[in-house]
Each structure stands twice: as C-alpha cells, then as structure tokens.
Amino acid sequence: CGFHLRGTNGIGGDQLSFSSIYIDFPADSQTSARLKRLIKGMKLTKLANNPKEAEVILSAISEKKNKDYLSLNAQGRVREYSLDYILEFTARTPQGKILIEPTKLALRRTMTYNDNEALSKENEELMLYKDMQFDMAHQLLRRLSAIKMSAINGSEDQTTENTTSLDRQPEHQPGTPD
Amino acid sequence: KSKNSSGTKKKVERPKRVENKDAPTILQAEQITGRPARDLYLDYEVEVQRDQTLLTGDHGIFRQEENETELIGNVFIQRFGDQFTAERANLNLDTGEGQLLNTTYKFEETNGQGKASKIELVGDDKTNIFKSTYSTCEGVNPDWYLSSNKLHLDNTRNIGYATSPVLYFKDVPIIGAPAMTFPIKAERKSGVLPPTMGMTSKNGLEVIVPYYFNLAPNYDLTIFPNLMARRGLQLGAEARYMGNNYSGTTYVEYLPNDKEADRDRYFLSTKHQQAFNNGLSYYWDVKSASDDKYPDDFSSPQNRDLQRLLLREGGFKQKLGVWNATLRATNYQVLQDVEAPIIKPFDRLPQLTITGGQEDVHGFDWQMYAEMTRFWLSNEYLDQMPLKQQQARGNRFIMKPEISYPIYQSGYFFTPKAILNMAKYDLDESPYNVKSLTRVLPTFSLDGGLVFERDASFFGKGMTQTLEPRLFYVYTPYKDQSKYPIFDSGEPSFGYPLLFTENRFDGYDRVADANNLTAAVTTRFLEENGAERMRFTIGQRYYFTDQRVYLYNTNLEESQNRSDLLVMAGGKILPTFSVDSAFQYNQSTRKMYSANFSTQWKPGPMQLLNAEYRYLRDTVDFYGNKLDQVNVSGQWPIAKRWYAIGQVSYSLADSRTIENIFGFQYNADCWIFRLMAQRYATSSVETNTALYFQLELKGLSSIGSNPLNALRRSIPGYEPLSP
C-alpha cells in the first residue's frame, strides 16, 4: 500500500538536514527537554550549547497553558475542562535567515471533572499537560524535519561540522534578504 | 513567558507641537497699511502664515513687536493641524496664547470637535472652551456631544475637564453632572471605562461604571462600582502588577449589607508569584467567598472563576541541580449546593514534594518522585463521606523511582521502563482499624512503536501520510489495597494518554494491578512543512488477567478482558473547516461511554460557527452527572457595522438550558453600542437571566474591557471584536 518505514527511504523528510541545533526555550520547558531527548537519542544532530555554534536556532516565542471549562452540567458546574497548550516558535540560522516563520501550534486535551475529585484531577491535569508536551515535541521534530538546509545553503559543503560562524558570516550576509 | 528578540514596535512619531520661531512670517492682504516694525493694518483676504500656523480672515492687525495677530470676520486658524473658525480672534504666534469668539474647532490628534461661544488658547497645549459642544463625531450634526459651561483640555496630561456637562445622544440629553473628566486621547490612561447597564433576575437593575487607574506601565487598578437595585452598591477592584521576577493579580468584590440576604457579601481571588536568583520561589493562589449562596447570586459566564470549590494554596519551591523541592499547603472552601453536595477534598497541610531526574545518562533516563503529605479533614467533613467512601486522615509518604532506556529512531521507538512504587501511611484512625500501612510494588513496562510513511493525497492536496502502530505492555503484581485510604486518587478521563500510562488510577493511593497490553494505531496527514493536518487514532487495552484493584471497593460487575475502545479523529478537513471527535465504546456491554463530536467553520475574520455534541455516561458517580448536550456558538458580521455573537448550550438529559448567550455590537464612527442577553444555570435549581447594554462614546471614555470579549471562553475560536 506504499507505506515504508520512516528513515529507510533515503529521500524525503526522514532525517534532519542540519548537523547542529540550538534550542532557545525557557530553561524549565518540558517540551524542549523532550525534544532534546528525541534529537539526542536519534543521534541525528548535535545539540549546541551556544546559538553561534549551531546551524539552526529553534526559539520559543511564547509558551502558554490555558484551562477553561468546556462543558457545564445541568447544575451549572464544570463537567469537563479543556486544557490548552499553545506554543509559538520560529526557526532561523545564526545569521538571521528565517527557516520557519513564527508559527503557533495549539494542542488540546479534555478532562472530565467533578468537584468531588478535585485532588485526583490535579494529578490528571499534570499527566495531560505532560502528554501534550510530548506530543508538541514530536510536532516540532516533524517541522524541523521539513527544513531543507541544502536548498537554503545551496551547497552541502557548508553543513559540515566545525565551520566557525565567523567564516561563514561574510559569505552569507550580503545574500540574506531582510 | 515571551521572548521577543527582534521587531520592537516603533510608534509613528508625531511632529511635536512646537513652532519654529525663526521661520519667516508671511503677511498677505489686498491692502496693507501702517508702518514697518510697528502695527500693520490688513484688509481683505488677509493671510498670516508662519511655520505651522496659518490665519485667514477679512480684516486684521498684525502687531510686530508682540508677534500677535488680531482678525475679524470669517476667521480661520490652523495651528499644529488643529483648526478653528471664529468671528473674531487674536493669537500670539510666540506664546500660542489667544482668544476666539463664536467659534468652531477641531483638534487633529483627538478628533475632538464642536462649537463654542469662546475659546481661550492658554499656550500651545491647554485650551479653555466656553459654552461649548464637544464630540468626536464628524459633521455639523454629531450623534453625540457633550455640552458644558467650560471645558478645559490639557493635551500634555491627556485630560479633559468639563464643568456642568450634559451628554446628548441623538440630541436627547442622557446624563448630566456638576463636573466630569475624561481622557482626550486613545491611550492607556486613567479614566472612566464605558459604563454598563443591565437587568438581571437576581439583582434587578444594575449600573456598572468602571474606572481605570493607569498607575504605572507595570501595574494598574480597575475599580467596578456596581449599583444593584435589589441589593445595594457592590464595589469590585482588580489590581494587576508585574515586575522583573514577580507578578500577580488580586480581584475583590465586596457588597456591604446586601438588602436581599441581609449580610455582607464578598469574593476574593488573589494570585502572586516571585522567583529569586538562587532558585527559590514562592507563590500563592487564594480564593474565598462569603457564603454558600454566593455563586447562585453572583456567578456569570463572565465570572467563571467563581466556582463552588475555591482553592487556597501557597508554597515555596527550591531548585537544586537536578532536584526540585516544593513545600506547599492547600485547602478548599466549599460553597455547598444543598441539592448536589460536594464532598470536601482533603487539605494538604503541608505537602513536601521532591522530584528529580536526568536524561541520557549512558542512554538511561531516571526520575524520582518523593512526597510527604499530611492529609487533613475535620471530623465534621469526614463524617459526611458517603457510606462506601469512609476515610481516615493521616500522613502519607511516597517514593517512586523510575528508570528507563529509551531508544528513538525516526522509524521506530522502544522504551523499557521499571518503576518502584513505595508508600507508607500513618493514619489517625481508620474505618478499617489499621493505623499503619505500607506498600511496595514494582511495575515494568515496554512501550514501542513504528512509523511508516507514504505519499498520499488529502482533499486533492499532496501530503505525507503516516501509519503509526504502537504497543504498550505493563506488568504490576496485585496487592489488596481495599484498606488503604484514598486521599488524592481517582479514575482519570478515558483517553489516549491513559491507555499509555502504567497506572490506570491517578494520584498515589492506588497502584493498579496490571498484566495488560495496549494496542493503538494512529495515522496522520502531514503537510509539506511538517504541519499536522489530520489525525485518526484507534486504541484499546487488553487485560491478560482480571483487574482486582478498585477505588472504593466498588467492584464493577463488568469485569472485562479488554478496556473500552477509543476512536478519535481530528484536524482540518479544509483550511476553514475543522473537526474534533472522540468515542469511547464498550464492546461487551455494547454501550457508548463517552462521545463528542465538534465542528468549527471559520471562513474569515470574525466569522465563526461551532457546533458540538457531547455525551458522558454516568459511571460511578453518586450525584447524577450525565452529560448529554448540544452546544452551538459563533460570531458573525451580520451587516455593515453589525456584529453578532451567540451561544446555546442545551442539556438533552435534563431538558434544561445550561447557558444561552446572545450579544451584538454596532460600531458607528464615533460610538459603539453593545447588547448582551444571557440565561444560565447557577445551581441545580436556580437560573439567572441577565440583559446588559453599553454605549461607548469614542474619545470620551478610557480604552477598557469590552463585556462581549469576556464571552471568548464560551465560544471556542472567538476573535475579540475591535476595539
């Protein structure tokens, strides 16, 4: 039926097309921790400690959690909550070339609720947010996989490791729009 | 937290209201007499111009010494873009002082305009206008205007001060006062916010006149005096503040001597958090209300923070390397609804939690959760527990280390994991006559999945389709926990995350016996940029041995060899049309346990329609909490300048309206009219009906909250109506 295991096809959005990434998220972001773990575990790409050493910089513009009631029962009490997790991110090169325009990703989980179970629902809420953070990390990874560095750089040579940013800057700056 | 590295907004700088005094003064007239360097007499088609000032008129005198112009007949003055006409006028070009008689005016920046018997220009930024009208509407017949004996406008302080003002709308006087102030520019500035009037079935006539204090860029205060005909004057206030490492909001409502209830009524909500550089932070989040009936009388769709269970929580957090410690105390105030009583949750006085973890230590991830809690509830509340849920208060100690070895590849993942659940309880007195309980249970799990891909087409668009089968096996030995108390455990909502957790209970009082396998398949349609367009999931859990651990020993007769079946589908079918749905079906009882199906159509800005069906079967609930309802909501521009919003929630199970809201906004050039009608349940027997309207006169009130925007919670996808 045409399905093949991801990563066995050679071409396509299987692998990250860049060798190093700097993840510029708030230090306590669970999403970035998960994303880093995925990237690390796959040994695809190096995690840079410094934005200047990275080929791609992924930045969180805003990270928001929202909890609002979704449905009320006939007594006017909350019966279901909707938990929203909204992340706005962008990806660029250290030279400032935008690879992914600022994009908002919104995830939602519903949680049944009953005042009698307030304490257990507190635990459930944590679980659902964790699930969304995992989901978000995978969504980010798929977005990163869609970046085609070769098309942006024009040549594969420039994606080699240890090319210092100082060397590259003069070459690229005149060409970058914006 | 928002980190905006680039793109700081630059306001368009207006030219300052300063005139270049060295610019040449040009005089023109058909006839000029007098002596140079003294007074010049100008007659017929007089024009005096210097830099940003232009005066024209029939006759005039120009006094060169003082740099002053005096004009009579068809006088027109333009200075810094402001325009005046008058019968006669004089203006000193250097000081900006002057006087105009029988005049009309229009200020460029504020669009404030009107007519007056006299205008005094006191310098370049202050103006006194006598026996005047003031409006921001264009033309000679303004929709609204403020007439006053004296109007003082101060541009630098952005304030207008009117003496004996009378406000006319469509030439009908609607309100008068001895004096009033208003902000003259559309800035975040202290001032009256548009007042709201309303009728509610609980409170009778209501008049709310909010006042906004813009105290500093990072803190402000809004007060909401609300005069309720049947109850008295309620005072509301909201203070917001934000600093480098702290932020908070406090909201208070206070109604002294409620005439209906014959007592003082209040509601308070305060939140604060602050973090220090050494990793220490503290926070509080406290809500409180005066009495059980408060939500019946004062809750509204705009005020849903006001629930029947009010959390009071405060604590400290400390970070130390890979460790996080939290010490907190929590307590709930219950505002009882006698018809559907709430079991008061345990207080945690206090709770100390220590968590830690590291990832990729030679490929291993480890996590530790440790917690010590004193769960407390007074005898009065313990006695109110339902028969099969009798409880003890006591101390609980939990330690739960986890270790896993995740393997990730783009085409597959595999994670073996081991958990040790350790718990120790010391109970005050237990219905089962046990004071001390310990429990040590290991859990093993294996989580693995594959990701297949193919090129596919979705509604005519080329996409990547994935196929992601996933298996999850858990083993936890059985231990009889029927004598263990339940402090914070419960059964979570059935859903995808639950199928892939080791413990089918949340909280730490029950460790579910498990020998089961979850199988699920997800397929996604991905756009070229990796964006997820659509997702379908089907999943189920299979039990190899019967489950024997239950919450309240309420052994359900439906002991099964498999869980309910979960089917979910969601995403954007078209860029303007999205669906979200989930079904929970039990194959052995052939019953649907939960179902929801929602659609959203958003063809353009401010154009939105939602339709939704939600169903939840009553399970182990004691008070009848079945959900079987239809929600329809949306917003739509119904005609030029007209915007409508609405929401209907109807419970099919109870044949009862839960929340109906209808509102509209008419947006004229210089005013906005808003109307909002609501009907909603406030308790099992009571309903409130409310009708509010608001007239906002642009340029007369501060920029502030729009009551219709408070409805965004009820209408998913709602876009605020401007402004």
- Residues of B in Cβ contact (< 8 Å) with A33: 359
Nearest CA in chain A to B510: A120
What residues of chain A lie within 8 A of the CB of B582, using their CB? 110
**Paired sense of beta strands B144-154 and B126-134, if any:** antiparallel
Contact B492 A71 (CB under 8 A): no
Question: Quick one: average pLDDT of B223-247?
Answer: 93
Averaged pLDDT for residues B633-662: 89
Report ipTM (2 d.p.): 0.84
* CB-closest option in B343, B346, B659 to A72: B659
Q: Which pLDDT value is given to residue A11? A: 44
pLDDT at A167: 32
| Cα angle: B407, vertex B413, B415; to 5 degrees | 60
CA pair distance B154, B125, nearest whole angstrom: 6
Write out pLDDT tens, residues B649-694.
Answer: 998 988 888 889 899 889 888 888 989 998 888 877 788 898 988 8
| pLDDT > 90? residue A71 | no
Give residues 256 to 275 of B whose Cβ lies within 8 Å of A.
none
Contact B2 A146 (CB under 8 A): no
| Contact across the interface for B337 and A75, Cβ inside 8 Å | yes
In B276-346, the DSSP E strands lie at: 280-289, 309-320, 323-334
The label of the residue with tokens 């179902």 reads B595
Inter-residue contact B322 to B356 (CB < 8 Å):
yes
pLDDT for residue B292:
93
pLDDT reading at B555 higher than 60: no
Task: List the end-to-end C-alpha distance of chain B, in Å, as a whole number.
Answer: 25
Q: Which of residues 125-164 of B touch A (CB under 8 A)?
A: none
Q: CB A58: neighbour CB atoms within 10 A?
A: 22
Give every CB contact of residue B551 below 8 A, 6+ residues apart in sequence.
Answer: B486, B489, B490, B491, B505, B510, B620
Kindly report which listed range (A89-93, B507-511, B576-580, B659-663) carries the lowest average pLDDT score. Answer: B659-663
B:10-39 residues touching chain A, CB 8 A cutoff? none
Main-chain dihedrals φ then ψ at residue B671, nearest 5 degrees: -160, 160
Q: Which alpha helices (H) appear in chain A, and where do they start and end? A: 30-42, 118-145, 149-153, 165-172
Find the angle CA(B104)-CA(B109)-CA(B114) to the nearest 5 degrees. 20
Measured between beta carbons, which residues in chain A are less than 8 angstroms from residue B656?
A: 74
Which pLDDT tens digit goes with each residue over B73-95? Answer: 999 999 888 899 999 999 998 88
Pick A75's closest partner by Cβ from B309, B359, B681: B681
Contacts of A100 in chain B (CB under 8 A): 529
Residues 511-570 of B with CB under 8 A from A: 526, 528-532
* Interchain proximity A120–B490, CB inside 8 Å: yes
Pairwise CA distance, residues B596 & B598, whole Å: 7
Q: Nearest Cβ partner of B493 from A3, A111, A118?
A: A111
- What confidence tens digit (pLDDT) does each residue in B410-457 have? 889 999 999 999 999 999 877 778 889 999 999 999 999 999 999 988
The type of residue at A141 is: L
Give A-chain residues touching B491 at CB under 8 angstroms: 120
pLDDT for B330: 96
The DSSP H or E segment spanning B101 is: strand B98-106
Say whether pLDDT at A157 is over 80. Answer: no
pLDDT band at A150 (very low <50, low <70, confident <90, very high): low
Percent of chain B with pLDDT over 90: 54
- Which structure tokens are listed for B460? 């005519």
Q: Which residues of B touch A135 (CB under 8 A)?
A: none
Q: Please state, in angstroms and rounded to a whole number, the distance separating the CA atoms of residues B480 and B503.
A: 15
State the nearest Cα–Cα gap between B713 and chain A, in angstroms.
7
Q: Do A127 and B651 touch (CB under 8 A)?
A: no
| pLDDT tens-digit map of B149-164 | 999 988 888 888 999 9
Taking a C-beta distance cutoff of 8 angstroms, is the pair B136, B699 a contact?
Answer: yes
CB pairs under 8 A between A and B: 198
CA distance B621 to A77: 15
Going by the DSSP 8-state scheme, the letter that residue A94 receives in this structure is: T
Distance CA B675, CA B663 (A): 5
- Give the CB-side neighbour count of residue B237, counting CA atoms within 13 A: 8
pTM for the whole structure: 0.84
Residues of A in contact with B713 (CB under 8 A): 68-69
Alpha carbon B491 to chain centroid distance? 29
CB contact under 8 Å between B345 and A123, yes or no, is no
Q: How far is A95 from chain B (nearest CA, A)?
A: 13
Chain B: closest CA distance from residue A21 (Å): 17
Residue B401: enclosing H or E segment and its boundaries? strand B394-404
Residues whose CB falls within 8 Å of the CB of residue B161, separated by 6 or more in sequence, listed in order: B151, B152, B153, B154, B179, B180, B181
